[in-house]
Amino acid sequence: MWHVILNLLTLILINRLLVDRKFPQKSLTQGELITIYTMLSLAGGIAGRDSYQILVPVMGWAFEFATPENEWNQLFHRFLPDWLILREPDVLHQLYRGDSTLYKWPTLRVLVAPVLWWSLFVLVLGLIMFCLNVLIRKQWIQNEKLSYPIIQLPLAITQSNDSHWQVQGSRFFRNRLLWAGFSIGGAINIINGIHHLVPSFPHLPVTYLDYNLGQYFTNKPWSAVGRFPFPIYPFVIAIGFFLPLDLAFSTWFFYLFRKVQQVAGVALGIKALPAFPYLNQQSTGAWLGLFVVVMWAGRTHFRSVFRQVFSLSSSTENINDESGKDSPMSYRLACIGILFGSIAIVLFCHQAGLSLWIIPPFFFIFFMLSIAITRARAELGPPTHELAGMNPGNLMVDLIGTRQIGANNLSIFPLFWFFAGRGYRGHLMPHQLECLKMAEQTRMNVQKLGLAMLVAIFLGSLSAFWALYHLAFIEGLGVIPIGHDSGVFRMLAGRLNHPTPADLPATSFMGVGMLTTFLLMFLRTRFLWWPLHPLGYALSMNFGIDYIWSCLIFSSIIKRIILSYGGVGTYRRAIPFFLGVILGEYVIGGFWSLIGVILQYKTYDFYFA
């Protein structure tokens, strides 16, 4: 999250230029800066476009836009719980049309209950995710030693060369390669930012919207490639420099393979399967397969966890139990947290209207995907993992059909779209594990950090609601560019009006995705030279990778050249340069965003995705 890096850098500058000189004993330590980074990351994820920017519109949309023609009132209004949504007509009119204020008692009275209930629900979700991270932390951080590319920059700018803050990060910020990279990333943003305001000014085309290779494929079957963007985001290329080469290669290779499947479907005239090649289903199967693969790879660790939780091991074997100051909590306490959190989730969802039988599989699938996404961030560190359309609700519809699920359950699914539906770009679980990794590297007190995470989730939820409602009542939720429209309710109406059985082809392609993941992992374990990683396949079958695939080609080539001709030493010396590119884009891109907020004017968006 670039805005978190920008805030962190601002604090560091204030620390160095003001606090250190006048009140050195009050200077922020690296651990305190990482704690701030952690809390801002989690709060930012909650307020993000795939999270509360969806929840806030959805809470009232079904009532504000119900008409006699769409018959939403008869179809599903009776299934929506009053304590989680907004029904009051006067409040809804003000919310969606604007020219009003949040700060009126009739409005606050209507909002307070849904806001508190959703905040508590998200807090419990965050607690379960944190407990799951405690269980997998040692395996991924210490045993497998995953790379965690996303944390390289925050660690670097908060690094300490001494126990005191006066020299913290000084070596990093004095590196000439850092400022060379910063100049490149910053200059591109300055040029494009000016061009956005003055169209006659030159423009450097680097974004997702600037190139579309699909315009050159106009005849069938080649036109089946559809939109074929070729972005060249400098900061994504820089992040790609920190990825393992096989992962970066696999990602863009399977993206091209996805396009080949689309062309093949038209060329072969596969009309019996109208949704061929069922990319969402392939991707869903691949992510679930990835969960199975990583659990199998860590089976020895998880077997040890099981023994320690149930006291089946001897005292000698318990030496490595996750207890003490260097661990967030014991394995046993983590399992207790998962148990009580799960009970709270079941009670919440059943009270909301879900049938008891559907709650466990829904959330089991959700947490399977969550662990797989967390693994992707830990190992690959993609700047986006927009798994659009991949969610427990859609998967269960494919598996058993809408008739079996029932109208009451289908009607609740749109309310869960903000955390298990749209895209997972602001998912909390990867942020938590990345921050635990940072704490482990800097020898922080991770128990206090865990508490800070939970505080950040709850306060971040309240703050996100406040900010979004404050803006919505002024500008109107129907006009400000947040969240999504009534798509989830149109989909719900379609499912209720036209019930469907299980979708056998869709389910089959989920199986294809899962089996492909298993095959790729088998080949990797049997042949050291095998270059294709199952994570690349899982990411690339969904369109979220469109934003970055070509950037990984450039980063792969650059990294291969440096390692081949300069060796590991040259690679390490080049790291500050690529961190500088990232920092340059973040700082200047953040500057344009700040100008836009101050002037209330649309400015350059350096990462349109």
Q: What is the pLDDT of residues 524-539, one digit of tens each?
A: 989 988 999 999 999 8
Q: Which residues contact 593 (CB under 8 A, 6 or more apart)?
A: 3, 603, 605
Please tell me the predicted confidence (pLDDT) of residue 11: 87
Q: Which residues contact 176 (CB under 8 A, 6 or more apart)?
A: none
**Exposure class string for 484-511: b at 16+ Cβ within 10 A, else e:** bebebbebbbebbeeeeeebeebbebbe
Q: What is the pLDDT of residues 334-380, one digit of tens each?
A: 999 999 999 999 999 999 999 999 999 999 999 999 999 999 888 87
Please tell me the predicted confidence (pLDDT) of residue 482: 66
Is the pLDDT at 44 greater than 70? The verdict is yes
Please tell me the predicted confidence (pLDDT) of residue 486: 60
Give CA–CA dist 564/246, Å, rounded: 15
Q: With H, G, I as helix, E, B as strand and everything else as coil, classify residue 556.
A: helix
Cα–Cα–Cα angle for 403, 409, 415, rounded to 5 degrees: 135
Question: Is the CB of residue 534 less than 8 Å from the CB of residue 254?
Answer: no
CB neighbours (10 Å) of residue 162?
A: 9
- Cα 490 to Cα 97, 414, 482: the distances in Å are 21, 10, 18
Nearest residue to 535 (alpha-carbon basis) of 382, 392, 318? 382
Q: With H, G, I as helix, E, B as strand and everything else as coil, classify residue 95.
A: helix
Nearest residue to 341 (alpha-carbon basis) of 127, 188, 64, 584? 127
Residue 410 identity (one-letter amino acid): L
Please tell me the predicted confidence (pLDDT) of residue 325: 55
Residue 233 identity (one-letter amino acid): Y
Length of the chain: 609
Is the pLDDT at 460 greater than 70? The verdict is yes
E strands, 251-397, in order = none
Nearest residue to 162 (alpha-carbon basis) of 36, 20, 327? 20
Query: What mean pLDDT comes out for the span 464-483?
Result: 86
Q: With H, G, I as helix, E, B as strand and everything else as coil, classify residue 605.
A: coil
Is the pLDDT at 3 greater than 50? The verdict is yes
Please tell me the predicted confidence (pLDDT) of residue 542: 84
The pLDDT mean for the chain works out to 88
Please tell me the predicted confidence (pLDDT) of residue 319: 42
Query: What mean pLDDT comes out for the span 549-568?
Result: 94
Nearest residue to 454 (alpha-carbon basis) of 439, 434, 432? 432
Q: Which residues contact 327 (CB under 8 A, 6 or more apart)?
A: 134, 137, 446, 447
Give CA–CA dist 418/435, Å, rounded: 23
CB neighbours (10 Å) of residue 482?
A: 17
Rounded to 5, what percent of the chain is helix, strand, coil? Answer: 70, 0, 30
Is the pLDDT at 205 greater than 50? The verdict is yes
**What is the distance in angstroms between the CA of the first residue and the CA of the last residue of the chain?**
13
The neighbouring-strand residues paired with 229 are 212
Phi, psi (deg, nearest 5) at residue 229: -70, 155
Q: What is the pLDDT of residues 75-98, one digit of tens each?
A: 999 999 999 999 999 999 999 888
Q: Which two tokens stand for residue 334?
A: 């983590």
Please tell me the predicted confidence (pLDDT) of residue 182: 95
Please tell me the predicted confidence (pLDDT) of residue 108: 95
Please tell me the predicted confidence (pLDDT) of residue 48: 83
Q: What is the pLDDT of residues 382-398, one digit of tens each?
A: 666 778 778 899 999 99
Give CA–CA dist 303/299, Å, rounded: 6
Q: What is the pLDDT of residues 437-456, one digit of tens each?
A: 998 888 888 888 999 999 99
Please tell me the predicted confidence (pLDDT) of residue 161: 39
Nearest residue to 373 (alpha-carbon basis) of 477, 283, 461? 283
pLDDT above 90 as % of the chain? 61
Is the pLDDT at 99 greater than 50? The verdict is yes
Query: What mean pLDDT comes out for the span 156-175?
Result: 63
Q: Compare 431 and 271 and report the one with higher pLDDT.
A: 431
Is the pLDDT at 316 greater than 60? The verdict is no
Please tell me the predicted confidence (pLDDT) of residue 298: 92
Query: What mean pLDDT comes out for the span 242-255?
Result: 91
Give CA–CA dist 364/345, Å, rounded: 12
Phi, psi (deg, nearest 5) at residue 4: -70, -40
Is the pLDDT at 544 greater than 50? The verdict is yes
Instruction: Please state at what angle helix 567-599 crosses helix 176-197, rounded to 10 degrees.
Output: 30
Q: Which residues contact 277 (CB under 8 A, 6 or more apart)?
A: 258, 261, 262, 264, 265, 509
Please tell me the predicted confidence (pLDDT) of residue 86: 93
Domain boundaries along the sequence of the chain: 47-147+243-565
Number of Cα atoms under 13 Å in the Cβ half of residue 43: 20
Is the pLDDT at 323 greater than 70? The verdict is no
Query: What mean pLDDT comes out for the span 150-159?
Result: 86
Q: What is the pLDDT of residues 491-527, one digit of tens each?
A: 999 999 999 999 999 999 999 999 999 999 999 989 9
Please tell me the predicted confidence (pLDDT) of residue 317: 44
Q: Which residues contact 526 (CB under 8 A, 6 or more apart)?
A: none
State which of 58-72, 179-193, 214-228, 443-457 shows the largest mean pLDDT: 179-193
Q: Which residues contact 123 (CB under 8 A, 6 or more apart)?
A: 454, 457, 458, 461
